[in-house]
Amino acid sequence: MVTPQHAGVHAISDSYVDELAAAEPVIATYCGISGYDDKLPDLSPEGVDHRGAIGAAALARMRAAEPADVAEANAKAVFTERIGLEAELHAAGEFHRSLNVIACPVQEVRQVFDLMPTATADDWAVITKRLAAVPEALAGYQESLRYAAAKGEVAAVRQVVKTAEQCRTWAGAGEGKSFFAAFAEDAPVDGALRSDLDTAVSGAARAYGELADFLTGELAAQAPTDDAVGEERYRLWSREYTGAALDLHEAYEWGWAEFARLEAEMTEVAGRIAPGGTIADAAAKLDADPRYQVVGQREFEQWMQGLSDRALADLRGVHFDISDQIMRLECKIAPPGGGVGAYYTGPTDDWSRPGRMWWSVPADKESFSTWREVTTVYHEGAPGHHLQIATAVAQAKSLNRFQRLLAWVPAYGEGWALYAERLMREFGYLDDDGDLLGMLDAHIFRAARVIIDIGMHLKLEIPRGTGFHEGERWTPELGLEFMLTRTITDPTHVHDEIDRYLGWPGQAPTYKLGERLWLQARDEARARQGADFSLRQFHKQALEMGAMGLDTLRSRLAEL
């Protein structure tokens, strides 16, 4: 029976956030929900099922709720679509078997420490308790992987082995310190707390080492060698990441067309940079140009902070309405051990922790070519993820906590961030041919993702006329060759990318497919409104709606 305090759509959504925070302390920390920063989730099969039951109960209440107005109707549509898919994934056993190199409990437990305050002894007392919880959390995780394996549900051996490598890095299995030892080394504590902290640090590092041994020993022996997940699982994950039932074969064909369009434009720009040369020749010339060089990780961190700050200042009041809270964005080099690339973490609900752009780079990398990275700063910062996510967090008067904090849909978010890169070109920030080539490379890279991700997991045929192994069917080896020969992305990054696609089926195409929808919606709004169309107002209305699946977004944007 629905109780009065849970009768409304917004109330049900807010209550779900509270219940989930208690069961998922990592999510609580990410959202800034207090009271759970000293805990980690129960990752055992019972813990996974408990979180599934929380979602199922909330979903039943939501389906029975009658929206009071348009805002609640929209909120109900977002909640039922998102949590409905979570229920499907849980029923399919996807959360018990969860293991990949980019977004599974292995990374989440490690990365939550990046988000915790570290200024005072009291902060470190909380961190110490959470560190002490790492062994139990990872032991429960091993139980879940064993539970899934008993049903024949194990990640591909590539994911098992590569994730174990991450575990060993964080455990300090090589010559360096463990992540946890480096993290706690300069903690402002002494006496009993220092002793407890050191014990917890050792235990956390040892637990990651033991997890690595379990993965490469027991689990790897049961893991399939085939990386492809097949069409049925792929369609389910694609719906989770896009919020739409896509025509995968149409998306695959469109990916090829978009790749060809971008390749032609890159060839034209490369010709201006290195007359008579290839795209690779132009990239090599730019890499050797001191104007595009930053040396040192600290210097690179300062470079991206400066570029981010300038973008926010320039966009404010001209192209976007940006509040004082959103003007704060911190740029950081991520701790070593994770995959190479940039990512974003949003602000807490009370804004005590700002939005942050993280750049994960190889530990020994000291030279950076900025022409490749200008567009990434716009993607992760403003007008990309930071502006989008922080704007939603700020809508406390119109969006419930689920909409503001938890309704992340990659096709909406990554699609917007890629669209944001294109916006910066339209605004005149990528007129330099080097920076423009970097932006086009980022886009052709995402078009290649559409082709390769769908192609590898569905084992599709490579079409005639593409100039690449025509008539053959995709394999991981062909995916790697395609990225190395048909894009100018850093080879180190490319190797990580192939592992990412194979472990995260359906996520990689969301960037380009989401961008396609944002562009279509903008064109349609401009056609409807004619001379009254305002790009600034379109963006304001769209971002203040918060995240949602592509099907829901399409219908909502059609009303603008």
* Shared domain check, 152 and 295: no
Residue at 75: amino acid letter: A
Last residue of one domain, picked from the residues 483, 510, 537 = 510
Between the CA of residue 155 and those of 88, 98, 232, 244, 383, what are the distances in Å?
18, 8, 16, 25, 36
* Shared domain check, 362 and 273: yes
Dig out the tokens for 307 from the structure.
Answer: 């570029």
* Shared domain check, 299 and 175: no
Q: Is the CB of residue 311 less than 8 Å from the CB of residue 381?
A: yes
Phi/psi zone of residue 35: left (φ > 0), alpha (ψ -120 to 50 degrees), beta?
left
Cα 226 to its chain centre, rounded Å, is 25
pLDDT computed for residue 297 by the predictor: 94
**pTM, 2 dp:** 0.91
Give the pLDDT confidence of 186-237 residue by residue, as tens digits.
Answer: 999 999 999 999 999 999 999 999 999 999 999 999 999 999 999 999 999 9
Phi, psi (degrees; rounded to nearest 5) at 324: -60, -40
What total of structural domains would you count in the chain?
A: 2
Provide mean pLDDT across the span 8-28. 96
Of residues 330 and 364, the one with the higher pLDDT is 330
* SS3 state at 491: helix
Within-domain flag for 342: yes
* Shared domain check, 451 and 416: yes
Give the pLDDT confidence of 300-338 residue by residue, as tens digits.
Answer: 999 999 999 999 999 999 999 999 999 999 999 988 776
pLDDT computed for residue 3 by the predictor: 41
% of the chain with per-residue pLDDT over 70: 98
Indicate the range of 6-15, 67-76, 276-285, 365-374 predicted with least confidence.
6-15
* Shared domain check, 175 and 288: no
* SS3 state at 464: coil
* Shared domain check, 296 and 245: yes
Within-domain flag for 12: yes
Last residue of one domain, picked from the residues 203, 226, 249 = 226
Dig out the tokens for 353 from the structure.
Answer: 């922790």
Calculate the average pLDDT of the chain: 94
* Shared domain check, 251 and 204: no
How far is it, in rounded angstroms, from Cα 266 to Cα 360?
Answer: 26
% of the chain with per-residue pLDDT over 90: 91
Other beta carbons less than 10 A from residue 60's beta carbon: 13
pLDDT computed for residue 4 by the predictor: 40
Task: DSSP for 82-151, please give it.
Answer: HHHHHHHHHHTTTTTS---SSSSHHHHHHHGGGGS--SSHHHHHHHHHHHHTHHHHHHHHHHHHHHHHTT
Of residues 341 and 48, the one with the higher pLDDT is 48
Q: Between vectors from CA 502 to CA 258 and to CA 164, what angle results, nearest 5°? A: 145
Other beta carbons less than 10 A from residue 43's beta carbon: 26
Q: Which helix (H) or strand (E) holds 39?
A: none
DSSP letter at 290? G
Q: Which helix (H) or strand (E) holds 173?
A: none
Which residue range forms the structural domain that includes residue 281? 239-510
* Shared domain check, 146 and 170: yes
Within-domain flag for 545: no
Dig out the tokens for 520 from the structure.
Answer: 């279509």
For residue 6, is pLDDT > 90? no
Last residue of one domain, picked from the residues 181, 200, 226 = 226
* Shared domain check, 244 and 190: no
How far is it, in rounded angstroms, from Cα 526 to Cα 529?
Answer: 5
Confidence of residue 7 (pLDDT cuts 50, 70, 90): low
Give the pLDDT confidence of 54-101 residue by residue, as tens digits.
Answer: 999 999 999 999 999 999 999 999 999 999 999 999 999 999 999 999
pLDDT computed for residue 338 by the predictor: 65
Dig out the tokens for 131 from the structure.
Answer: 């560190």
Dig out the tokens for 481 from the structure.
Answer: 């060759």
* Shared domain check, 263 and 196: no
Q: Is the CB of residue 503 less than 8 Å from the CB of residue 102?
A: yes
Confidence of residue 361 (pLDDT cuts 50, 70, 90): confident
* Shared domain check, 344 and 267: yes
Within-domain flag for 339: yes
Within-domain flag for 552: no
Give the pLDDT confidence of 118-148 residue by residue, as tens digits.
Answer: 999 999 999 999 999 999 999 999 999 999 9
Within-domain flag for 524: no
* Shared domain check, 293 and 218: no
Within-domain flag for 516: no
Q: Is the CB of residue 41 less than 8 Å from the CB of residue 32?
A: no
State the sign of the Cα–Cα–Cα–Cα dihedral 75, 81, 86, 91.
positive
Confidence of residue 340 (pLDDT cuts 50, 70, 90): low
Within-domain flag for 355: yes
Give the pLDDT confidence of 466-500 residue by residue, as tens digits.
Answer: 999 999 999 999 999 999 999 998 887 888 889 99
